[in-house]
Amino acid sequence: MVSFKKALLLFAVVLFAVRPLHLQAEEVHTQQTPSSAEEINEYVHHHLQDDHYFSLFTDKKAGKHYGFPLPVILIDGGLKIFSSAEFHHGEQVVEKGGQYYTLYHGKIYKTDATGTIHYDEEHHPTNAKPWDFSITKNVAGLLLATLLLFLGFLSLAKTYKNGANAVPKGIGRFLEPLVIYVRDEMAKPNIGHRYKEFMPYLLSVFFLIFLLNLMGLTPLGFNVTGNITVTLCLALFTFVITTFKGNKDYWKHIFWMPGVPVPFKFILAPIEVLGMLTKPFSLMLRLFANMTAGHSVVMGLIAIVYLFQHQLTIPGSIGVSMVLTLVLMLLELLVAFLQAFIFTMLSSLFIGMAVEEHTHH
């Protein structure tokens, strides 16, 4: 128990202290201080977007990037696999199989030998893009989270093999209360007697979102749940399960509501179908918006404090930045759990509505 508490304390120190210091050290090290609103906006977007290179920080004064490249996997007239280091962070054109590719704002475009990118009137690239199945930073974060969850629950499963009354050890002591919480506070009340059928999915989505949110607060700089494609996939899983597990009463209440006059049934049916589609949309957007907003506020606050310090020469800005960032990190820790709870709670509620047995009088 003592070692477990020490581990939690060490994790809290790393979570709340190392990330703010890391972000500020990055600014000092790179000698890149945002000096305008546009530069602050670019700085925030740079930390929020996905990347083909696992970059920790950049020293542009010395022209060095600290991190490691990730594999690029393209399908364009055949399979092309190479390292993202060949792009040199978008500074060079890569030739593979007679095709030329360049990296621009985290996306790969087809170009000519000179790396020319054409733009439309709104300054959006018009170059064709190959099918990109690369292992990006977000994909690496998903793989890492999956590995950590697998190892954690494997340890918990070994404990249960010793008997129903076996006391979990190590990380299992942290996981078991959360498993019971998901079962007793979400699955049972919302789904009913069929809750065991959906527990694997609810536990998977809860712990995956929770762990990804926590990883986003570390100096590794992951922003997986702030990627709308990830939240879209999670929401689609809930939608598919709800759709295919829905019983006849569920579909009857959507297309032919009992107890409603026939003319109104034709009016309400399209509204019910629209409501069925807006449920996964709300799941997707809520998680994406909250996590993106949290990261944006933390990054923006640091950038603005540095702007005040260098342009208005306000003393003590570094200390103010650390205090405010630590407060926001504490708030983000609460949001990390809250968003996992809300997504899982609403998913269990939608599934419960689909499998509920109705009694009509």
Strand bridging mode 79-83 / 94-96:
unpaired
What is the DSSP code (8-state) at residue 67? E
Q: Which of 136-150, 161-175, 218-232, 260-274 has the highest mean pLDDT?
A: 136-150
Return the minimum-mean-pLDDT range out of 36-50, 161-175, 228-242.
Answer: 36-50
Mean pLDDT, residues 2-27: 46
CA atoms of 353 and 330, how far apart (whole Å) = 35
Q: Which of 72-81, 156-165, 299-308 has the highest mean pLDDT?
A: 72-81
Q: Please report which confidence band the pLDDT of residue 29 belongs to, taking 50, 70 and 90 as the band edges.
A: very low
| Percent of the chain at pLDDT exceeding 70 | 77
pLDDT at 63 over 90: no
- Got the DSSP string for 258-275? TTS-HHHHHHHHHHHHHH
Comparing CA positions, the residue from 19, 63, 55, 14 lying closest to residue 302 is: 19
Distances (CA, A) of 42 to 140, 243, 300, 304, 321: 24, 41, 10, 13, 19
Cβ 134 vs Cβ 73: under 8 Å: yes
Mean pLDDT, residues 4-8: 47
Q: Please report which confidence band the pLDDT of residue 8 belongs to, taking 50, 70 and 90 as the band edges.
A: very low
What's this model's pTM, rounded to 2 decimal places? 0.80
Comparing CA positions, the residue from 346, 336, 348 lying closest to residue 201 is: 348
CA atoms of 249 and 261, how far apart (whole Å) = 18
Q: Please report which confidence band the pLDDT of residue 256 belongs to, taking 50, 70 and 90 as the band edges.
A: confident
pLDDT at 346 over 90: yes
What is the DSSP code (8-state) at residue 172? H
Strand bridging mode 79-83 / 71-75:
antiparallel
Alpha helices in 183-316 (DSSP H): 188-191, 195-215, 228-245, 248-255, 262-311
Give 296-340 pLDDT, tens digit per residue.
777 777 666 666 666 655 555 566 666 776 777 788 888 889 999
Return the minimum-mean-pLDDT range out of 132-141, 171-180, 288-297.
Answer: 288-297
pLDDT at 216: 83
Give 190-232 pLDDT, tens digit per residue.
998 889 999 999 999 999 999 999 888 877 778 888 888 999 9
Planar angle of CA 148, 153, 156, nearest 5 degrees? 135
Domain spans of the chain?
71-134, 139-355
Return the minimum-mean-pLDDT range out of 83-92, 110-119, 142-151, 317-326.
Answer: 317-326
Return the higher-pLDDT residue of 165 and 314: 165
Q: Which of 42-51, 155-164, 175-184 has the highest mean pLDDT?
A: 175-184
Q: Please report which confidence band the pLDDT of residue 142 belongs to, taking 50, 70 and 90 as the band edges.
A: very high
* Coil, strand or helix at 125: strand
Give 100-109 pLDDT, tens digit per residue.
898 887 888 9
CA atoms of 357 and 353, how far apart (whole Å) = 9
pLDDT at 58 over 70: no
Question: Across all residues in the chain, what is the average pLDDT?
Answer: 79
Sheet strands (E) in the chain = 53-59, 64-69, 71-75, 79-83, 94-96, 99-104, 107-111, 131-132
What is the DSSP code (8-state) at residue 113? T
- Altogether, the residues listed in the chain come to a count of 361
Q: Which of 3-12, 39-48, 127-136, 214-223 has the highest mean pLDDT?
A: 127-136
CA atoms of 203 and 149, how far apart (whole Å) = 11
pLDDT at 79 over 80: yes
pLDDT at 15: 47
Strand bridging mode 99-104 / 94-96:
antiparallel
| CA 333, 334, 337, 340 torsion-angle sign | negative
Torsion (CA) 188, 244, 345, 214 in degrees, nearest 10: 120
pLDDT at 62 over 80: no
pLDDT at 190: 92
Distances (CA, A) of 183 to 4, 258, 283: 24, 32, 20
